[in-house]
Structure 1
Amino acid sequence: MAMPIDLTGAERFVLETARLLDRHRLAVLLHDAPVTPVLDALRAYRNPDGGFGHALEPDVRDPASQPAATLHALEVLAEVGALDDPMVTDAAAWSAETARPDGALPFVLPSAAGYPHAPWMTPNEDGSFLTFAIAGLLWTAGSDEPWLEAATAWCWSRLERPEELSAYWVKFALDFLDRVPDDDRALAAIEGLRSKIGADGTIAVQGGTENERLTPLTLSDRPGKRSRILFSDEQIEADLDQLEQRQREDGGWMFDWQDWSPGQLVEWRGGVTLRALGTLAAHGRVDLPHRG
C-alpha cells in the first residue's frame, strides 16, 4: 500500500545530518536550485590526478583517488545534468591511467589499505564491476577517451558469461547496458541476465547482511530504461510502495548493507535518502515544490 512521503521531514533530515555536497544536491532536486554549488562541493573531493577520493564513496575513507569514489562523482554529475563539466574528461583520463591492460578497473586500489574502509572494500588488482558503471556514464557523457573502447570490450566479454555474475555484477552490468549505444546488442544482453533475477524481481546478495537483496528499483531505477524489460509494472509498483514505507520517523531512509563506522553511517543515510526521493519523484510518487 502506498504511503504519503513526509517531504518536509526528509528535507529536515538531510539538512540536519548530511554532508554539504548532499545538501546542495537536495536543493537542486527539491527547489530547482543552481547546480554550481553542487559542482563546487564536488571539486573538494577531486585530486590533482583527475580522480576522486576523500571518502566521497563513504565505504572507502582514502584521500587518494579510488574507482568507487570516481564513479560516485560521475553519478552526481549525471544526476544534476553536468556530464559536460571538465571534471568528466579528467575522470576519464584518470580511469585510463588506472585501468589494467585489458581495460578493466580494479575494485579498490592499494592506497585504501592505509585508511579506514569497509570490510568488503579490500585492495585488489582484479577487474571489477565498477568498470561497467563508469564506462556507461562516459558513453552518456559522449566521452572521446580512447580507453572507453577497451573498457567497453571488456564489459562485453564479461557479459558473454552471465552465469558467473553475482548480484552487484548484474546491477552494474545493467547500468552499462542502459547506456551503451548499441541498442540491439544491449537488449539481447539484458535478456541474457533475466535468469539471474528471482520471480519477485530481486537478487540475493551473497555474503551481505541478512535478507540483503537488490530490488527492481535498485537494478533499474528510472522509467524508460532498457533494463525495465526485466520487470513487470506490478513489481515496480510494489517496490515503490516498499520504498515509501521505508522512510523512518526521523525523515530519512536507511541502507540495508553493513554499517561499520559513524561517519559511513551518516554519510550513506544522506545519500540513500536523496536516492529514495529522486526515485520516487521520477515515478510520480513525490510532488516536488518547484513542479507544483
Structure 2
Amino acid sequence: MTIDVVAAERFVHANARVLDRHRLAALRGRPADPVLTALRAYRNSDGGFGHALEPDVRTPDSETTCALHALEVLAEVGALGDDMVAPTVDWLAANDVDGGVPFVLPGAAAYPHGPWMVPTPGGSHLTFGIVGVLAAADLEHPWIARATEWCWDKLERPDELNAYWVKYALVFLDAVVDTARAAAVIDGFRPLLDEQGSVPVPGGTADERLTALTLSPHPGSRSRALFTDDQLEVDLDRMARGQHEDGGWTFDWLGWSPGQSAEWRGIVTLRALSALSLNGRISV
C-alpha cells in the first residue's frame, strides 16, 4: 500500500499551522529550536497555554487541553527540560480541583469552541495524559505527586472509563514507574475493546472511535500488550488508506468551523506520518 510522503509534506506546508510545519521539520531530524519558538507564541503570562493551541477551544486564555498539547509537543521534540515546563506545572497546580485538572475552564464559553468542550465536575481524563507526559520530565513538584495519586484512585473504578479516559489512562500507564501495577490495570481494559481493538466514542459522530494505533502508538510500550499483531497491522493499513488526494489525512470527530478543521487536518496528518514512521511503514 503506497503512502505518498512527499504529498503529505506538501499538504502540511500548504495547510498546517507554523508550529506543525516546524514539528514536521523536527520529525525529519532538523533542530527543535523553531518548534519551541513557535510554541511560545501560545504561552500566556500565567504560565499556561491558550490561543487555540488545542483547536477545539479557541479562547486566548490558558486551558488544560492546551497545557497537555504543549507538553506533548515538548516531549515529541525531547524538550521536557525547557523552561516552559515548570511554570506550566505551576499553572496546572493552581487549577487543581480534586487532585486532577478540569476538562475545560468556565471562561472558554465566551469564545468559539466545540460543542463538547464544556466544563465537567471534578478532575478530567486530561490529568492522566499530563502526568504521563511529565513522567519523562526531570521535575519534582508536589502537584505531580498529588495528581499521580488521583490517577491511581480513578483507575480503581474502571467502570468510569470511556474512550478518551482509556486513551489517556494508557499514556499514564505506559509511563509510570510501577510496572507491575500498570500492567495489571492495562490488562483490565481488555473488555472495553471490540474485536478490532477499538473503543467507540460515546456521543461522537457515527463512525468516531479510538483505534489500536490511537490508543497505543508506540512500539514496545506496555499498552501494546492489549493488541494483537493482526489488529495493529489492520489499523496501519486503515491509516495508510486514509490519505486523501490532497496528500493529507482528516479526522472522524465533528468539524465545526473551517479554522478548526484546517488546523486539525494539519495535526492529524503529522500524527499519521509519525505513527507510520514509528511502526515501520514509511521513512520520513
TM-score strictly above 0.5? yes
Q: What residue is the counterpart of 1:64 in the other structure? A: 61
Query: Partner amino acid for 1:67?
Result: T
Alignment partner, residue 4 of structure 1: 2
Q: Does 1:109 align with 2:108?
A: no
Hey, what's the Cα distance between the residues in 2 that align with 1:146 and 1:86? 18
User: Which of the numbers 231, 237, 242 marks the counterpart of 1:235?
Assistant: 231
Gaps of 5+ in 1: none
Distance in 1, matches of 2:233 and 2:175, equals 23
Residue of structure 1 equivalent to 2:158: 162
Report deviation, 1:125: 4.3
1:91-240 matches, cutoff 5 A: 91-100=88-97, 102-240=98-236
Deviations 1:110-131 (A, max 9, x none): 1101100000001344210000
SS in 1 for 2:146: helix
Cα separation, 1, equivalents of 2:66 and 2:238: 28
For 2:43 and 2:205, locate their aligned partners in 1 and report how far apart those are by CA, in whole Å: 31
Match 1:35 to one of 9, 32, 37: 32
Deviations 1:8-55 (CA, angstroms, capped at 9, x unpaired):
10011000011100000011112x111100000000000111110000
Q: Distance in 2 between matches of 1:163 and 1:121?
A: 22
Deviation readout 1:151-174 (Å, 9 max, x if unpaired): 011111110111221111111111
Query: Which of 17, 39, 48 is matched with 1:19 structurally?
Result: 17
Q: TM-score, normalised by structure 1?
A: 0.96
Equivalent AA in structure 2 for residue 98 of structure 1: N
TM-score by length of 2: 0.98
CA distance in 2, matches of 1:175, 1:195: 18
Instruction: Supply the distance in 2 between the matched residues of 1:254 and 1:211 (Cα, whole angstroms).
Output: 13
Decide which moves more: 69-78 or 85-94.
Answer: 85-94
Q: CA RMSD in A?
A: 0.9
Q: Give the distance between the partners of 2:121 and 2:96, measured in 1 at CA.
A: 9
Matches of 2:237 and 2:75, distance apart in 1: 26
- Counterpart Cα distance in 1 of 2:236 and 2:48: 34
CA drift of 1:143 comes to 2.1
**Alpha-carbon deviation of 1:277?**
0.2
Q: CA deviation at 1:89?
A: 1.1
Helix, strand or coil at the partner of 1:263: helix
Question: What is the CA–CA distance in structure 1 between the aligned matches of 2:63 and 2:121, rounded to whole Å?
Answer: 12
Who is 1:264 aligned against? 260
Quote how far apart the aligned CAs of 1:88 are: 1.2
**One-letter identity of the residue aligned with 2:217:** D
1:286 aligns with 2:278: no
- Counterpart-to-counterpart distance in 2, 1:196 and 1:163: 10
Shift of 1:195: 1.2
Give the distance between the partners of 1:93 and 1:213, measured in 2 at CA: 33
Q: Is the 8 A contact 1:109 1:125 kept in 2?
A: no
- Residue 75 of structure 1 corresponds to 72
Cross-structure match for 1:89: 86
In the alignment, residue 62 of structure 2 is paired with which amino acid? S
Matches within 5 A, 1:42-57: 42-57=39-54
Structure 2 regions of 5+ residues with no counterpart? none
Superposition deviation, residue 203 in structure 1: 0.7
Between 73-82 and 120-129, report the one with greater CA deviation: 120-129
For residue 241 of structure 1, report the CA deviation from its aligned partner: 0.6
Superposition deviation, residue 209 in structure 1: 0.3
Letter in 2 for 1:192: G
1:65 aligns to what SS in structure 2? coil
Aligned counterparts of 1:234 and 1:143: Cα–Cα separation in 2? 38
Aligned-residue sequence identity (percent) comes to: 60
Runs of 4+ displaced beyond 3 Å: none
Aligned to 2:270: 274
